[in-house]
Amino acid sequence: MIDRKGNPMANKSDFLSHSLFEDPLSFPGQEEPPPRYKSLRRNMIIIMILVTIIPLFMMALINHYQYQKALKREIIMPLRSIVNKTKHSFELFLTERLSAVSFIASAYSFKELADQETLNRIFLVMKQEFGGFVDLGLIDSSGLQVSYVGPYDLKGNIYKDHDWFHEVWVRGQHVSNVFVGYRKFPHFVIAVKSENLAGETWILRATIETQQFNHLIAAMDLDPSSDAFIINRAGIFQTSSKSYGNVLETFPMPIPPESLDANALEMVDSNGRDILMAYTHFTSPSFILMLVKPRSELWKSWYTLKGEIFFIFIASVIVIFLVVYKITDVLVKRIEESDRKRLMTYHEAEYTNKLASIGRLAAGVAHEINNPMAIINEKAGLMEDLIESIPHFERRDKFLELTQSIRQCVGRCSTITHRLLGFARRMEVEIREINLNEVIEEVYGFLEKEAFHRNIEVKLHLSRIKIPKISSDYGQLQQVFLNILNNAFQAVEDGGKIVIATWENDTGFVCASIEDNGAGMSEETRLHIFEPFFSTRKGYGTGLGLSITYGIVRKLGGRIEVQSKEGEGTKFTVLLPKKPKQATEV
């Protein structure tokens, strides 16, 4: 090639335009050590577990708190509601009684109330209409008990200096705390001041038993574990508590802060139990209604739920662990498998490449031999020419014999290098659709001359019915049949017979047989015939021909069979698949 300026450019010879060493799969493969997969597995498991468990955990946590809050509300609200309602009931009760006493105090005159009989009658009616009254009494403005109906003997008592008296006098009404009264039962007192138009004032006082309180509390309809009671602001029980004390005893725990609306506290009680205390302060009198429920009771449903959440969480975690581990295992195994296959393919390619490179190098070097050989050939030829032209040369025949011999040697060298080149070519595989008959005809063509010279009859029974084309490598097929046919030629005597046939068998293989009527081989020989370096012809070749042939056929996915009888002949049968097997076998 010449560039534009007319200077010779570097010539691209066939050898160099396609690099000897190009690798179709060019990735720097390294033998992957197992640790890589261990750490891959570990990382995958860790990540998957983190990604699944952390949200699950957070959700469980959030749910936990949300539920807790919701449940609290759910549990507490009713309690507060009950407490409120009860408080209203109480207040209603007290207001009713107060109204009753107040009404009587205003409806009747001092004189009427001072009259014992009238007071009796009023008291009876009061008792009938409103439950719980124990006594009734009239006290004048000086604090003197003027009249009295009841179980005590209070007529004539002076209450002038009593606190309640002062309170009533100033406030107009008074509801007392609970005290131990008649028959050691708890009572409380309502006193109301009344004033007539003349400006006279008197106080009407009634005692009520707290039995009613208990009724009201009972009406709350609480479960057995609940404890509802009333204390006053000083901490004295006004009704009995189931667990903390009886009426008029001291409430063993600190008084909760003032709250006119129902409130709820979680605390530990004096017995060390976790409790929920709902309470509310009365406006008047200064009572506190308390409802105590043990935590365990309250939170029973919560604990159940919590237990369930926990159980589900743990179960999920276990399932996740198992699944993640299993999936990772399967995945990593697949990755390992495909990596191995890839590496094998790479090695396969590298190896094929390497063989091809060897082949080409060897071939390149073999070419080098050709040059000296060609020279020797010409030189010997020249000598022949010269000697032939000398008249009456004494040693003419001898010399010509020698020069001929030299030229024969050159011919032999050609054959040898030809074989080497064929071998090199074989290492480059090129698959295409091939008609086996063509291959055989061509191979026969190589040996046609020899057959003619040695008078060997060669019959070609090539299937006229179209045998299917096979996907294979032309060069290698050539090698195979050349080798077998060569062997046949070696085996027969001059004048012998060789028959070549092709056909398709019933399992879809394309078959070719080469049969000779030569020396045949013993059973012993027949069994070893394909072994490398096993040769019956001393000094001929390298003993590798048939083993190579066997190897080629195997690589192409086919089989070779041999039948032989000593003294009668040998038959080689080659069976080839229509498509070559994928080379994954090592």
Identify residues 23-82 at the interface with another protein (CB under 8 A).
Answer: 23, 26-30
Minimal distance in Å, beta carbon 414 to another protein?
A: 7
Among the listed residues 204, 425, 443, 447, the single contact to another protein using CB under 8 A = 425
- Amino acid, single-letter form, for residue 536: T
Q: Contact, 376 vs 406, CB < 8 A?
A: yes
Residue 345 binds another protein, judged by CB under 8 A:
no
Residue 197 binds another protein, judged by CB under 8 A:
no
Minimal distance in Å, beta carbon 429 to another protein?
A: 14
What lies within 8 Å, CB to CB, of 381 at 6+ separation is 403, 407
* Start-to-end CA span in the chain (Å): 45
Among the listed residues 48, 222, 265, 358, the single contact to another protein using CB under 8 A = 358
Nearer CB in complex with another protein: 363/498: 363
Give me Rg for the CA atoms of the chain.
62
Residue 352 binds another protein, judged by CB under 8 A:
no
> Binding segment for another protein among 16-24, 223-231, 323-331, 489-497 (CB under 8 A)?
16-24
Binding to another protein (CB under 8 A) within 541-580 occurs at: 542, 544, 548
Distance of alpha carbon 227 from alpha carbon 243, whole angstroms:
7
Residue 259 binds another protein, judged by CB under 8 A:
no
Nearer CB in complex with another protein: 22/96: 22
Position of tokens 């080379």? 583
Distance of alpha carbon 39 from alpha carbon 33, whole angstroms:
11
Nearer CB in complex with another protein: 149/363: 363
Residue 50 phi/psi, 5° resolution?
-60, -45
Residue 346 binds another protein, judged by CB under 8 A:
yes
Residue 142 binds another protein, judged by CB under 8 A:
no
Residue 106 binds another protein, judged by CB under 8 A:
no
> Binding segment for another protein among 250-258, 266-274, 275-283, 415-423 (CB under 8 A)?
415-423
Class of residue 486 by CB neighbours under 10 A (exposed 0-12, middle 13-18, buried 19+): middle
- Amino acid, single-letter form, for residue 282: F
Residue 300 phi/psi, 5° resolution?
-55, -50
Residue 207 phi/psi, 5° resolution?
-105, 135
What separation in angstroms does the CA of 256 have from each of 245, 260, 261, 314? 17, 12, 13, 41
Nearer CB in complex with another protein: 233/419: 419
Residue 198 binds another protein, judged by CB under 8 A:
no
Nearer CB in complex with another protein: 312/361: 361
**Total binding residues for another protein by CB under 8 A?**
85
Nearer CB in complex with another protein: 25/323: 25
Binding to another protein (CB under 8 A) within 378-407 occurs at: 378-383, 385-387, 389-390, 393-395, 398-399, 402-403, 405-406
CA 499 to chain centre: 67
Kindly state the helix (H) or strand (E) to which residue 21 belongs, with its residue range: none
- Amino acid, single-letter form, for residue 256: P
Residue 411 binds another protein, judged by CB under 8 A:
yes
Distance of alpha carbon 371 from alpha carbon 364, whole angstroms:
12
Among the listed residues 65, 311, 351, 452, the single contact to another protein using CB under 8 A = 351
Position of tokens 């609970």? 178
Binding to another protein (CB under 8 A) within 489-548 occurs at: 532, 542, 544, 548
Among the listed residues 76, 138, 292, 424, the single contact to another protein using CB under 8 A = 424
Position of tokens 């229509």? 578
Residue 335 binds another protein, judged by CB under 8 A:
no
Among the listed residues 368, 430, 448, 561, the single contact to another protein using CB under 8 A = 368
> Binding segment for another protein among 138-146, 368-376, 440-448, 508-516 (CB under 8 A)?
368-376
Class of residue 413 by CB neighbours under 10 A (exposed 0-12, middle 13-18, buried 19+): middle
Minimal distance in Å, beta carbon 474 to another protein?
A: 13
Q: Where are the alpha helices (DSSP H) in 154-294?
A: 163-171, 211-218
